[in-house]
Structure 1
Amino acid sequence: MSDISRHDREISSNLASWQAKPLLRLVYRDIHLAIARELAPLPGLAVELGSGIGNIKEVIPDCLRTDLFPNPWLDQTENAYALSFGDDSVANLILFDVFHHLRYPGTALKELARVLRPGGRILIYEPSMGALGKLVFGVFHHEPIALRDEITWLAPGGWTAADADYYAAQGNASRTFRSEQVELEGLRVESIRHFSQLSYVATGGYSKPQLYPTRAYPLMRRLDALLDRMPALFATRMLVVLSKPVA
């Protein structure tokens, strides 16, 4: 079984990079703003699963930040397979780079649908496998894209959330959310948007060198807008919006 504590070690490393890279903070702020614009306009909790270093609160101040491991900047610990929230109690669930860590995504989505209010939304931000995305995540990222590996949708009998181990397959969102016609565990796909996010790629992320000066960020965003029109070639990121139908 893989070492699930690896996730916590990555968080500590990412925090150091976040503090050292102003450009990274600018890019993430704009990504979080794009996510915030898709939130369901319902009263109730907005919960982020897998919050990592917890930076989403700068854009969504009332967001409840959670992760598998406790950290002083987080609000509570949660496991996507066994959430502590009651049925129909959460207005919005945000998963930023979490879906590709779910070994059994169908099992997790069932649990997310359980706690989501009718009319509520699940916002999933993930790697996208355009040609550039395959290059960036396949060559320059330590996690596998696993495009040819079988996706095990549901956990086997007898499996529990306590058995969760470290898993990564960065191509899983692109493979799962191929069209808005997909139906998933009682959830409806509202929209799927793909982004080039070259402005993010060239920051070097959390582990690679920054490739352009911070002052050039507005120019890079204009380039992103052009490349977004050709997702098959340039998509590296995607935002999937799921909703729970109102009965």
Structure 2
Amino acid sequence: MESVDRHNQEILKNAEAWQQKPSLRAIYSTFHQSIAKHLAALPYPTVELGSGVADIQRVIPGCIRTDIFPNPWIDQVENAYALSFDPGSLSNLILFDVFHHLRYPGTALQEFDRVLAPGGRVILFEPCVSLLGLLVYGALHPEPLALNQPIQWDAPPEWTPSQIDYYAAQGNASRIFLKSKIRQNLHGFRVVKVQRYAAISYVASGGYSKPQLYPTAWMPLMAAIDRLCDRLPQIFATRLLVVLEKVT
């Protein structure tokens, strides 16, 4: 098992790109707006788990930004498997590029069920496996897709949340939520929404680690290309939005 410290090393590298790429900040703002449309309207806090460097508070004011490491822009440290929040005390949990880092997603969902109020939501924003997604996340991304690896839904009995390590399987959300034959026990949640986005503008921006392939002034054109490619998700989708709601 690889040390979880690798997560923080990646976060610190990403912080540099976040400051240097206005296009990246603009694209994330669009992603966050898509997430905001699906928030449960309950009178409790909204929490983002694994916030990284992207500032979701610009779109969702008051959202509590958390991560497993303390950094200056993080509100508090949280472990997805052992959250510090009281039972039924949250309206929403947002996981942006976090679900595919959960080695035991079913165990995490049990913890999410504990802290969310009835009708509360878990909103996932993940890599999507389409024809283009296979290229982007398979050949051009260092994290594995792990499409042929088994998903261990629940942690073994002897495991504890303090034993978290570095894990990545970028294809997990697509396998679970786009292929109903392997849909797992969602531990008290129902699927409200599954939506695919082409997000060509993000791919061509180079993300955090690669060069941008278009001038920032072309952002409106890239947004138009995104809308066009959204019509053929099996070919072009590179992002997946999943909304889960706690059954009351």
1:212-246 per-residue CA deviation (whole Å, 9 max, x = no partner) reads: 01111111111111111111111100000000122
2:175 maps to which residue? 175
Structure 2 Cα separation of the partners of residues 212 and 14 of structure 1: 20
1:226 maps to which residue? 228
- Structural mapping, 1:43-192, within 5 Å: 43-178=43-178, 182=183, 184-192=186-194
1:202 maps to which residue? 204
1:238 maps to which residue? 240
User: Is the CA contact 2:25–2:54 (under 8 Å) kept in the aligned structure 1?
Assistant: no
User: Match for 2:191: what amino acid?
Assistant: V
Structure 1, unpaired ranges of 5+: none
SS of alignment partner, residue 155 of structure 1: coil
User: What is the deviation of 1:180?
Assistant: 7.8
User: Match for 1:211: what amino acid?
Assistant: L
Give the aligned length.
246
User: Is the CA contact 1:18–1:25 (under 8 Å) kept in the aligned structure 2?
Assistant: yes
User: Is the CA contact 1:54–1:65 (under 8 Å) kept in the aligned structure 2?
Assistant: no
User: Is the CA contact 1:70–1:77 (under 8 Å) kept in the aligned structure 2?
Assistant: yes
Structure 1 Cα separation of the partners of residues 164 and 2 of structure 2: 9
User: Is the CA contact 1:179–1:192 (under 8 Å) kept in the aligned structure 2?
Assistant: no
User: Is the CA contact 1:54–1:74 (under 8 Å) kept in the aligned structure 2?
Assistant: no
Instruction: Tell whether 2:34 aligns with 1:34.
Output: yes
User: Is the CA contact 1:130–1:232 (under 8 Å) kept in the aligned structure 2?
Assistant: yes
User: What is the deviation of 1:54?
Assistant: 4.5
User: Is the CA contact 1:180–1:192 (under 8 Å) kept in the aligned structure 2?
Assistant: no
SS of alignment partner, residue 167 of structure 2: coil
User: What is the deviation of 1:158?
Assistant: 1.1
User: Deviation above 3 Å: which 4+ runs of structure 1?
Assistant: 179-183
Percent identical pairs in the alignment equals: 58
1:69-103 per-residue CA deviation (whole Å, 9 max, x = no partner) reads: 00111110000001111111100000000000000
Structure 2 Cα separation of the partners of residues 118 and 66 of structure 1: 22
Structure 1 Cα separation of the partners of residues 234 and 92 of structure 2: 29
Structure 2 Cα separation of the partners of residues 85 and 65 of structure 1: 13
User: Match for 2:240: what amino acid?
Assistant: M
The alignment's TM-score, normalised by the length of structure 1, stands at 0.97
User: Match for 2:100: what amino acid?
Assistant: H
